[in-house]
Amino acid sequence: MAPLATQPMADTRDMYMAHAGLRREFRLLPDLIRSVQPGDSRRAEVVGAHATLMCDVLHGHHEGEDLLLWPKLTERGGAEAAAIVPTVERQHQVIEERYAEAVGLLGSWRSTASGGEELAEAFDALAAVLDEHMALEEKEILPLAEKYVTAKEWHQLGERGMEALPKKILPLVFGIAMYEGEPEVVKAVLATAPLPVRLLVPAIGRRKYAAYAKRIHGTATPPRIGA
């Protein structure tokens, strides 16, 4: 590997965009669940499928960090990384515990619309630890990534997070993320993609998320709460 000083380094703005999508959808989920009337299994399936999608996105996102990001920061970041990486690794463990609790309740609720308050409370707990973790990542980890992770490696991290998701839903997932993304960040994220992808994905992603959000949230423009 060429010396880091000779290579383009990570542009982490896409992580802020991804975090905004995760924050928004996980913060909104508990009240979505509470809005489903007991016994309304049709609506529970719609909201439950959305919860499952967001859990799958989160799992892939964190698995990529565990496999590709923490080891590189630990290897290259010296005392700076040693002071923070163990903390975010522990946060991932807590998130995984809350994730498992929520997912464990989700399947039954999707089919019966029974036990909604318990499920909503589980997602409340998951959203809280996610908020804490992402705030710390943005404050401490992303500046380290810009110093110690190359642009190529950062791109691989993003690809790893998408690999576990069916290709047919990727435009929607991108739409979820880019809903609160600045146009220049969206352009930067797609900079290495083929020209047709760069031209089509932003428009398709926006349309897919608008239609999806109307079905899930009752509006094509749910509140922007990424911060």
pLDDT at 131: 96
pLDDT at 227: 56
pLDDT at 3: 61
State the Cα–Cα distance between residues 109 and 182, nearest whole angstrom: 36
pLDDT at 18: 92
- Does residue 193 lie in a domain region? no
Contact 45, 110 (CB under 8 A): yes
CATH of the domain at 91: 1.20.120.520
Domain boundaries, position 124: 12-165
| Count of domains for the chain | 1
Could you tell me what percent of the chain has a pLDDT over 90? 78
pLDDT at 200: 83
- Does residue 217 lie in a domain region? no
**What value does the mean pLDDT of the chain take?**
92
Angle at 19 between CA 210 and CA 149, to 5 degrees: 130
Contact 22, 134 (CB under 8 A): yes
pLDDT at 37: 96
What is the DSSP secondary structure assignment for residue 37, as one 8-state letter? P
pLDDT at 1: 54
- Does residue 171 lie in a domain region? no
pLDDT, one tens digit per residue, over 2-29 is 566 678 999 999 999 999 999 999 999 9
- Give mean pLDDT, residues 181-185: 88
- Give mean pLDDT, residues 141-159: 93
- Does residue 109 lie in a domain region? yes
pLDDT at 158: 84
Contact 12, 20 (CB under 8 A): no
Half-sphere exposure of 97 (CA within 13 A, CB side): 8
Q: How confident is the model at residue 207 (pLDDT cuts 50, 70, 90)?
A: very high
Q: How confident is the model at residue 195 (pLDDT cuts 50, 70, 90)?
A: confident
- Name the more confident of 186 and 195: 186
Least confident residue range of 31-40, 61-70, 183-192: 183-192
pLDDT, one tens digit per residue, over 89-140 is 999 999 999 999 999 999 999 999 999 999 999 999 999 999 999 999 999 9
State the Cα–Cα distance between residues 178 and 30, nearest whole angstrom: 22
Q: At what angle do helices 41-64 and 195-217 cross, to 10 degrees?
A: 140
- Does residue 208 lie in a domain region? no
Amino acid at residue number 84:
I
pTM of the model: 0.93
- Does residue 160 lie in a domain region? yes
